[in-house]
Amino acid sequence: MFNTMKGTWFNILLVLLSIKLSCGSEQEAANEEYVEDQYLLFDATPLEPPSFAYGSLHSLDRLMEWSMKEESIVEVLGSRLELLQTEYKLITSYLKDYNESTRMATEGLHDPSKNTPEGRGRVVGSSAVLAHRMTNRYTSTISKLQELISSDAYIDNQRNINETIHPELIKMLKDREEKSYNGTFTTEDETPEALPIWPWPHKLDLYRSDLSFIHLHEIYGFFPAQMRVGLEVDTKYGGFLNAKQCFAIGAHALSRYYYYMAIEWLELTKNLLLSADEEDRSIPLDIVSSLLDIAIKEHNLGIKYNGTEEFYTRPTYEGQPTEERLRYRKYIYHSPTIRENPQFNAVSQYWALCSGVTFQTPKTQKSLKCFYEMKRHPYLYINPLKTEILSENPPVFQFYDVLANDTIEDIKAKAVPRLQLSEVVGTDDVEQITKHRTSAGTFMRYKEMPKVYEHSEIISGLKLLEKASEMAQVVEYTYGRYYIYHADALEDEEPEEERGYMTESGDRVATLLYYLETAEYGGDTPFCAAGVNARRVRASAVLWYNMYRNGTVREDVYHGACPVIHGHKIIINHWIHYNQNWNYFPCSLNPLE
């Protein structure tokens, strides 16, 4: 019953709110200008999931590029505003003079034969006062308008407007972005240099940015009031979200059935609108109240049927004190019964590890070691590998100082312009993808970074060349971007028709991950079963095994990417296959080795 209701309630909400916005109160209905497009809920929450996952603001370079672009837009619009203010004054003066003279004199012409352009012209031409004021308007106000419109400053500004925010330019950029998504970067010849201007920011970029706040809220357990001002990280910059922007995040959370998060964002929005210290009226209060009421009702109804991590542990009401609300995530932490469920246990461990908790006992930590590895490859005798054992079972290793700065910068220069939004095996549905992964990535062949491929063989002690591994994947995570806990070995996840290469190469026996750039806050790699984080350290690499020696897939190497809180992270993934590396894994008497 509840699942059926979830699919219909939001459409009903949209209809009700559209009626509310169209009708309003009797006083509002009398005012034709009351309803404004920017208040429509449809602008905040897409009615349908986007048909494909494209957008432009998915890497730090692109965010920086558009930040610099915005500086020129601000300069152009600032000049435009000054010109428009002058133009507005002239037009206002002109219309005022016309209304006080010519219009007032001609509005009383009741004879239809005289109330024509010719008849009204005769009245003006016959009156010394009216004719004089008209002459004055032409020689003074209209003349000044002509001078303004024909001035170099006005013409230059109009050209600058056309070059920055003209609708035709934006349409061209969006069209090119869509073509780019549909195959521009699939061959070596069609390089990003063919696209000197990056696509114009799209509504999907705003949609994904809203989701970033939702993911930070969900995974780290922050509160909306903290995130509204950028946590403690960004408060020094003085930025904050207004009520309408908080409302949009709450609406998106509700559309994805994140009930407790929707309630908290919508309550924050309402408090901002009601606060005596705030002058924020960016969204009507009645719309916020309506959506908040629906969110609470849906939460309280849903908790009876399938309360999970999207809920509080008990029914709630508007304005309930925070200390009386227990998020389901905390309940999972402290409930042994719930934590026996493997799914909830993995979820809770992922959340906790991202928040800085470790599940390794002091005894386990005491047995872990740091050492210089020299036996894995002859090269290591002259350049030992700085090695840390993060976990013995499952085996997870982190190696330090394995990439030179020049190598890192070379890879970034080649990869970053090609970054496209990441996909998830087995689905192309944007809503499903963004529930699992919100990074941007590209692939690089051996000939684009041969030193890294060869060095990876030395570090891992495994074969990567030929068909022994997939193309290296370069991935970037900006603020709020993450990858939910998952396993790299595909097993049955790969569609039947796309499993051919696995038959020849085997499944992913091991993964080698490099940190090229690390975020200031957030962005670690948690291993749920091992109960430990692989810390984000620039130029380091993390190695783990996805399969046992006998070729069966391990269930204890689920891992993820914690959301970036501030800054950005760039990594390389090497997925190494089994069939050309089986001889490095001689079977033992223990099947779980």
Digit-coded pLDDT (tens) for 25-70: 333 333 333 333 332 232 333 333 333 334 556 788 888 888 888 8
Q: Which two tokens stand for residue 388?
A: 């840390």
Residues 327 and 372 in one domain: no
Q: Could you give the CA distance from residue 104 to residue 264 in angstroms, rounded to a whole number?
A: 57
Number of H helices, E strands in the chain: 24, 15
Q: What is the pLDDT of residues 545-577, one digit of tens each?
A: 999 888 888 989 999 999 999 899 999 999 999
In this prediction, residue 259 carries a pLDDT of 92
Asked whether residue 346 is assigned to any structural domain, the reply reads no
Q: Of 276, 301, 334, which marks where a domain is finished?
A: 334
In this prediction, residue 335 carries a pLDDT of 59
DSSP symbols for 267-329: HHHHHHHH-TT----SS-HHHHHHHHHHHHHHHHHHHHHH--TTSBSS---TT--GGG--BHH
Residue 431 reports pLDDT greater than 80: no
Question: Is the peptide bond prior to 394 cis by the omega test (within 30 degrees of 0)?
Answer: yes
In this prediction, residue 449 carries a pLDDT of 93
Q: Which two tokens stand for residue 310?
A: 């999207």
Q: Could you give the CA distance from residue 170 to residue 417 in angstroms, rounded to a whole number?
A: 20
Q: Which two tokens stand for residue 71?
A: 């500086």
Query: Do 571 and 439 meet the contact criterion of CB atoms below 8 Å apart?
Result: no
Asked whether residue 347 is assigned to any structural domain, the reply reads no
HEC states along 401-435? CCCCHHHHHHHHHHHHHHCEECCECCECCHHHHHH
Residues 129 and 244 in one domain: no
Q: Could you give the CA distance from residue 115 to residue 123 in angstroms, rounded to a whole number?
A: 10
Alpha-carbon distances, residue 22 vs 25, 41, 159, 521, 563 (angstroms):
10, 12, 38, 45, 40
Q: Of 288, 306, 334, which marks where a domain is finished?
A: 334
Asked whether residue 244 is assigned to any structural domain, the reply reads yes
Residues 359 and 287 in one domain: no
Residue type, 564: V
Q: Could you give the CA distance from residue 250 to residue 213 in angstroms, rounded to a whole number?
A: 10
Spatial neighbors of 190 by CB under 8 A, at least 6 apart, are: 183, 184
Q: Is 372 helix (H, G, I), strand (E, B) or coil?
A: strand
Alpha-carbon distances, residue 357 vs 195, 333, 349, 352, 542 (angstroms):
44, 11, 9, 5, 19
Q: Please tell me which residue, 250 or 117, carries the higher pLDDT value.
A: 250
Asked whether residue 186 is assigned to any structural domain, the reply reads no
Alpha-carbon distances, residue 318 vs 161, 244, 258 (angstroms):
46, 19, 16
DSSP symbols for 445-503: -GGGSHHHHHHHHHHHSS--TTTTBPPEEEEEE-BT--EEEE-S--TT-S-GGG-HHHH
pTM above 0.85, yes or no: no
Q: CA 337 from chain center: how many Å?
A: 35
Look at the chain and report how many structural domains it folds into. Answer: 3
Q: What is the pLDDT of residues 121-156, one digit of tens each?
A: 988 898 898 999 899 899 999 999 999 999 999 999
Beta sheet of 483-486, edge-to-edge order: 483-486, 559-561, 525-527, 532-534
Asked whether residue 590 is assigned to any structural domain, the reply reads no
Asked whether residue 143 is assigned to any structural domain, the reply reads yes
Residues 126 and 46 in one domain: no
Residues 519 and 464 in one domain: yes
In this prediction, residue 203 carries a pLDDT of 79
Q: Cβ of 262: how many Cβ atoms within 10 Å?
A: 27
Residues 233 and 359 in one domain: no
Average pLDDT over residues 305-333: 79
Q: Could you give the CA distance from residue 504 to residue 508 in angstroms, rounded to a whole number?
A: 12
Residue from 308, 422, 498, 354 nearest 53 by CA: 422
Structural domain range at position 516: 352-584
The residues that bridge with 574 in the sheet, in sequence order, are: 512
Q: Which two tokens stand for residue 327?
A: 């998020």
Asked whether residue 193 is assigned to any structural domain, the reply reads no
Q: Which two tokens stand for residue 391?
A: 């976990």
Residues 436 and 543 in one domain: yes
Q: Could you give the CA distance from residue 252 to residue 208 in angstroms, rounded to a whole number?
A: 10
